[in-house]
Structure 1
């Protein structure tokens, strides 16, 4: 969901580290830059929160529940439309006859078919996705299965896909097409302490769940938004997953099917397959502990710490800032509303 330049740079330093371990990266650059779009939507939403007119009678409530106010405004201000468009584009990469993911799978199949029996035995495919990348991968997994390609490991970092997508695409593949599955999420306390553009005071996934997905949250009427796979709140929820006639929690289903769920931040040692120090939704793709944990899962052994410096930036991904609001805290925003 970042800009093309950021995505290409990120792929570049992934590649520089992975190739020395005989891991050859195929990276998909998804032309969305949704974070910039989301910042603009939040900027417009804040501009509409004024104490006059329709909001005058509810001013005190709006001051106390700013996020509740931002969600429906952001939804109407193209938030849902843009999110739906991005999801459709991600799916189309596989479902469209000329989609880029189809081209990649065709090339991989051709390459695999040309290998000797010995080399085929050593050939493995590993899938990793962050945030909306989990939407992109969902139909791709089906396509790989249709082409006789299996997935050794699939690791999702804070996936933004809905639980419905998980049920439709991932659940049937885990244990068949996908040999080993791992889910990384923030713990719910950390997720609620995150923010979007210093305006919305929870994580991006909370904003997507509550405002941009099909089921939006409406205080006192619809207390929860659309269940997302990457949120601790929904992974832990009892009866959150429907598999056949049975209902169970996603956490229980993962455990019963040999999958791993890693919550961040945690105290696992760097290099462990369960280590994670991400504290914001955007941190996962640059968090050294998460990157080394993912490499450990791919390699089937702890990632060597001696090479940790090559694994990427030492600092978390810069948090989203909006010009004019980058230094605006909730207190100053409240005071400006009250002065109005």
Structure 2
């Protein structure tokens, strides 16, 4: 299902109309419950997945083809929120255009003194990216918040149908789960609050490399889950992996570092998905006790003290080393499914 900020989508290759939202519940969820043998006096797990906000439609479709069947095979009904901007490529192109002359002049010296000059180069990229990327990032965040806050958005329509018509359609009680990658965490910081206010049983929230600010999460979903006991997961890269992530070229660190240092209002803005910011947040903020955290690469879930109650018998070490690959990691998939099942 393709969701746009203020309404259901009427453009792009993947389109959703209001009647499609109703059919998703009335027909497809009902059929899933029939196949899985879940009666109306039981409960069904519904997981709403939100991908990153700088992802174009094609990349989002690839993610959907991975997550939707994986969740469905685990008897978890998947709803994929597809909201495209494709802004990352635009920002990268603009930065490269500005840096090209400097890169040519400094290439020889940078090769000789690579490590010494690396941070200088990244700071230069950040200074160029700031005026180019900050307006796009701000707009993307506003769109993400509208998905959760605007009653006319497709996601809110889905909540309305689930809440208002599920019993009429003979469906079981819904256990709601939210899964988000990167800026999808901003969507869920607001959608989760709306779901709790609407009376949903929000059982789990899984955030993968979340780009949401720590203070924004704290004043929205972080406060809301204190009343519900919702279990949470944050899957993130180690700080070393963030700093070595090569996928945001010409920048030398990860997308989250660029967001924190250039796109947000202040340099070094704390983000929930950065290990350097997550560790103190979990230790000092009230909702930290409800949050399981797993780092990548090379973390075995079974060794995590906070993995109590999660089946770790089939656990494997995390392998992802880049921001974009973390939501593809089989170990992360396993943990998300286990959290949903055990919540």
Runs of 4 or more above 3 Å deviation: 48-52, 60-64, 111-117, 251-256, 269-275
1:36 counterpart = 2:68: no
Cα separation, partners in 2 of 1:64 and 1:102, compared to 1, 3 Å: closer
TM-score (norm 1): 0.72
In structure 2, the partner of 1:71 is: 126
**Corresponding residue for residue 199 of structure 1:** 250
- Kindly tell me the number of residue pairs found equivalent between the two proteins: 271
* Unaligned residue ranges in structure 2 (runs of 5+): 1-53, 106-112, 303-310
1:7 equivalenced with 2:7 (yes/no)? no
CA distance in 1, matches of 2:158, 2:60: 18
**TM-score normalised by length of structure 2:** 0.71
The whole-number CA distance in structure 2 between the counterparts of 1:269 and 1:183 is: 12
Aligned-pair distance for 1:13?
Answer: 3.0
1:101 corresponds to which of 155, 178, 184: 155
Q: Please report how far the alpha carbon of residue 132 of structure 1 lies from its aligned counterpart in structure 2 after TM superposition.
A: 0.3
Residue 272 of structure 2: aligned partner? 229
**Whole-Å separation in 2 of the counterparts to 1:130 and 1:112:** 28
Is the CA contact (8 Å cut-off) linking 1:94 and 1:100 kept in structure 2? no
**Whole-angstrom CA distance in 2 between matches of 1:8 and 1:64:** 35
- Matching of residue 19 in structure 1 with residue 72 in structure 2: yes
| 3-state DSSP of counterpart to 1:160 | coil
Structure 1 pair 274–141 and aligned structure 2 pair: CA distance change class (3 A):
farther
- Cα pair 1:93 1:100 within 8 Å, conserved: yes
1:276–1:293 Cα contact (<8 Å) kept: no
C-alpha deviation, 1:12, in angstroms: 2.5
Partner of 1:56: none
Q: Root-mean-square deviation (CA), in Å?
A: 2.7
1:74-131 Cα shifts (integer Å, max 9, x gaps): 112x2101111111111112323422221121122134343769x32xx311110010
Q: Does 1:290 align with 2:324?
A: no
